[in-house]
Chain A
Amino acid sequence: MRVWTKLRLSKTVCLRKFSFRSALCRPRTTVICFNCGSLYKGKVTQFRTFCFASEDQRRNLDLEPADRQKQSQTSWEPVIGLEIHAQIKSASKLFSGAGTQYGASPNTQVSLFDAAFPGTLPVLNQRCVQAAVRTAQALGCHINCVSKFDRKHYFYADMPAGYQITQQRHPLAVGGSLTYVYQCSITSFVERRSARLIQIQLEQDSGKSLHDLENGVSLIDLNRAGHGLMEIVTEPDFTSGDDAASFVKDLRDLLVAIGTCDGRMAEGSMRVDANVSVNRPGEPLGTRTEVKNINSTRNIRLAIDSEIERQIRVLEGGGVIENETRSYDAEDGQTIPMRDKEKLLDYRFFPEPNLPPLVIHCDHSTISPWSPSLSVILEKDEDFEKMLLPEQQRKRLEEKYGVPLIHSVVLVRQGLFDLFEILVNQHSCEVWATTAVLKTPYVAFLDDHKVDSEESPVSIEQLAELIHIFQREKISSSSLSLVLNELAVNSSISCQSVIEEKGLWIVDCDDVIFAAIDEVLAKNPQNVKSYKKGKTNQIKVFTNKVIKILDGKANTMRIQQLIKDRLDKRF
C-alpha cells in the first residue's frame, strides 16, 4: 500500500506524490510524471502518481526532463546499482561436461564434479569464455588478457562444494558502458541514457531449491549447478525502477542479438540483484540493501520502486536502514528480508588453486603450437563486426529513415529491423506506413500466433501489399489486424480480395459520413452545447462515435476535420 503524504497544492515546487484524484478534479492541470519528469497536460485517467507542475516549471518548458525530475524529487535521491547474472548459452556447463538443458528431470544434468565429489577437478569450457569475451566487446569493456578465478565460500545446500568459483580480484573484463533507451512506464516519454559497467566476470550458477514449507525441508535439484554465468556489474547509475528496468531490457536484447544468452527471464536465464539506497541531495550515499533474484523486467521496476519507498518511509519515520539482503514478493508488491543477514556472512575469498590463470590471446602468435588446449583469441570477427547491435539499429532507423525513437525502440526490440529495411528498400513502402503497420498490428499479430517474424505465416510480399494499400489510405488502421489474421489462415489469397470480401475498404463516400455525423450530433445535444461553450475536446467524443457507426472503416483525421466543419457551420 502506498502511503500518501498530505496533498500539498504547491505554490512553488511540489515535492510529493499525490493521489491522481486531485488531478482528475482539474482536468487541465499540468502535471509532472513522477517517474520521468516529463510534463503531462490533460486528464489523468489511470491510477498513477504525478506531481503538480509548479508555476516555474510550467513556464520553463524547455527544461530538460531529467532536471525537472530532480526538481520534483529534491527530498530524496535514490541510487541503484545492478548485478545481472546472465546464463551463458552453451551446450555444457562451465567446468564440467554435463548438459545445460532447461527443464530436464531433476539431477539428471549433473556430473560428479557438479555434485562436488572428492577428487573431481574443474575443466573450463572454451565456449563460455568466448561468450563472455564477445559480450565484453559488445559492451566496450577492457578485456584483461590474464584473469584469475577465486573461491567464494558460503554454506548452502544448492552449492554442494561449499564455495562458488568466480572471478573477484582479476575479472575477465572491466569498464565499458551501455547506451539504453529509458522508457517511462506511465507517460510515453523516451530518452537515451548511458550506464557505466564495473566488470564482467565468469562464475558458476548454483542449484535450485524447492522449499517445502509444510514438511520443513528444501528439495535440491543440481541441474543448474555449474551452469556458466556472466555476472555483469554496473556502477550505481540508476535513479528509479523504470530506469533500471529499461537498462535490463536493452542489455537482454543485446545479449540475445550477439547470441551469448537466450534472455528467457521466465526460465531464470537472466536474474538481477539490485543494490538500492536513498540519500538527501548533496549528502553521501545511504546504507544500501540488496534485493536478490528478481526475474522479470516488470518485477525489477516494482521491486526497486517499492524498496525506495520503504527506505524513505523508514528514514522519515526516524528509523535506520540495515545493510541486508531482501527478496521481492510479487504478490504483496513489497520487499521482505531474507533470513541471512549480510553482515554475518564472510565469503572468505581465496584464489582457486585448481585453475591456472585464464589467458585471452591477442593473436595467434602467442599460442603454443603443441598445446592440446583450445584458445580464445581477441581477433576481429568480420561477421560480428558487420552485425548491427540494437543501439546501432535504432540509430539507423532514426538517422536514415527518420523513425522517432519511441517507435524504433519497439521495432528493434521485436526484431523487426531487417523486415523494416526490406519493406522500405525493396518494396518501396513508405516509412510512416511501415512503422504504423509493424509496430502495433503486426507485433500483436505475431504475439497472438506465438511466432517470430522469420516464421510469420504472412509473407513479406503480402505484408508489402497491405502497407501499400494502407499508405494510400484505402484501409483504416483498425482493419489491419483483421486482414493479417485472414491472410494467416489462407496464404494463397491476396490482400485486395480479403479486403473486398470482408468489406473493409475505407468509407470515403461523403454522404455516408455526413449522415453518420448528423446522427451523432442529433443524439448528443448536450455535448454540442458544451462544445459551443468552448469545450473543443468534445470533437474527440464525436469522432469516436462516428467511427463506431462506420465500423472503424474511417480515417480519424478526416472525420475530425469534417465534424469540425459541420459544427462550425452550424453556429
Chain B
Amino acid sequence: MQRMFCKLLLPHCATKSQPVQTAHVFRALYSSKSKVPDKPMWDSINYDKLPKLPDTDLALVEQLERISLVEFNNEAGLVRLRDAVKLANQMHLVDTEGVEPLDTVLEDRECYLRRDEVTEGNCVDEVMSNASKVEEQYFVAPPGNIPMKKRDKDHLSRVLDSKADTDDVV
C-alpha cells in the first residue's frame, strides 16, 4: 500500500526510474506527517477521460448471474451495477506506471511451512454438522458435471418405456 500512497500524495517524487527511492522518501515523511489531510479535499473527475462503460447486454447479465449465483431481480439492480462500474473506473485516473501490483500487505513475509504430520481429521460429525442433507456419511448435492450422454440416454429410455406401454395397451 505504501508504494501506492507515494504516487498519490507525492506525485513530484514518483519518477518512473526511481520507485524504490520514492518509497524511502515517503517513509521519512511518513514518520513525521499523517497520511490524512488536515482539511477535506475535493477533486472533480472528468468522466470523459475514463474508459467507456461496457454495454450491459443480456448475455453479460446472464454470465454475471451465473458466476455470482445472484440474480438481478429488477432494473434498479442493473442501474446499481452500472454505477458501481462507473465508480470503480475512477481508478484509471491513478498513475500506476512502474508500480508493481501489490497482492498482499504481507508480500515481504515468507509463507509459513509446517511439518508433514497428521494432526486433524476423523471428525465426521463436526464436518457434516452444517450439511442440509446427508446419506451414509456422504454429503448429498444436486447432480454435478456428469457427461451429457448419460442424461440423453435417460431421456431416451423414458420415451422408449412409454412406447412399450402403449404397445401393451394395443
Chain A residues in the interface with B (C-beta under 8 A): 90-92, 96-99, 105-115, 117, 123-129, 148, 153, 155-158, 209-211, 213, 216-222, 327, 329, 336-340, 344, 346, 348, 351, 353, 355-359, 371-376
CB distance from B41 to the nearest CB of A (A): 30
Q: Report the interface size for chain B: residues with CB under 8 A from the other chain.
A: 46
Say yes or no: A356 contacts B110, CB within 8 Å. yes
What is the total of A-B residue contacts with beta carbons within 8 Å? 172
Residue of B nearest to A361 (CB): B110
Contact flag A373-B63 (CB < 8 Å), given A98-B120, A108-B124, A329-B149: no
From B116, B142, B147, contact of A91 by CB (8 A): B116
23 contacts between A and B (CB under 8 A): A97-B118, A98-B120, A99-B118, A105-B137, A106-B137, A107-B137, A108-B122, A110-B127, A112-B123, A123-B112, A124-B113, A211-B143, A211-B144, A217-B142, A217-B143, A218-B144, A219-B136, A220-B138, A338-B148, A357-B103, A373-B112, A373-B114, A374-B113
B145 at the interface (CB under 8 A from A): yes
Residues of B within 8 Å of A124, CB to CB, are 111-114
Interface residues of B (CB under 8 A from A): 63, 66-67, 69, 103-104, 106-107, 109-124, 126-128, 130, 135-151, 154
Chain A residues lying within 8 Å of B114, measured Cβ to Cβ, are 97, 123-126, 373-374
Would A219 and B135 count as touching, CB distance under 8 A?
Answer: yes
Q: Tell me the complex Cα distance, A226–B163, Å.
A: 48
**CA A19 to CA B155, docked complex, whole Å:** 36
Q: Is the CB of A373 within 8 A of B110?
A: yes
A338 & B147 in contact (Cβ 8 Å cutoff): yes
- Known contacts A153-B67, A155-B69, A157-B141; A351 and B116 CB within 8 A of each other: no
Q: Is B118 touching A339 in the complex (CB atoms < 8 A)?
A: no
Interface SS of B by simple majority: loop
A356-B145 CB under 8 A given contacts A108-B124, A115-B127, A217-B140 = no
Pairwise interchain contact B110-A91, C-beta atoms closer than 8 A: no
Residues of A near B118 (CB, < 8 A) are 91-92, 97-99
**Nearest CB in chain B to that of A158: its residue:** B144
Contacts of A158 in B (CB 8 A): 144
A351–B107 CA distance with the chains assembled, in angstroms: 11
Q: Is the CB of B139 within 8 A of A336?
A: no
Docked pose: A485 CA to B31 CA in angstroms: 83
Residues from chain A with a CB closer than 8 A to the CB of B141 are 157, 209, 217-220
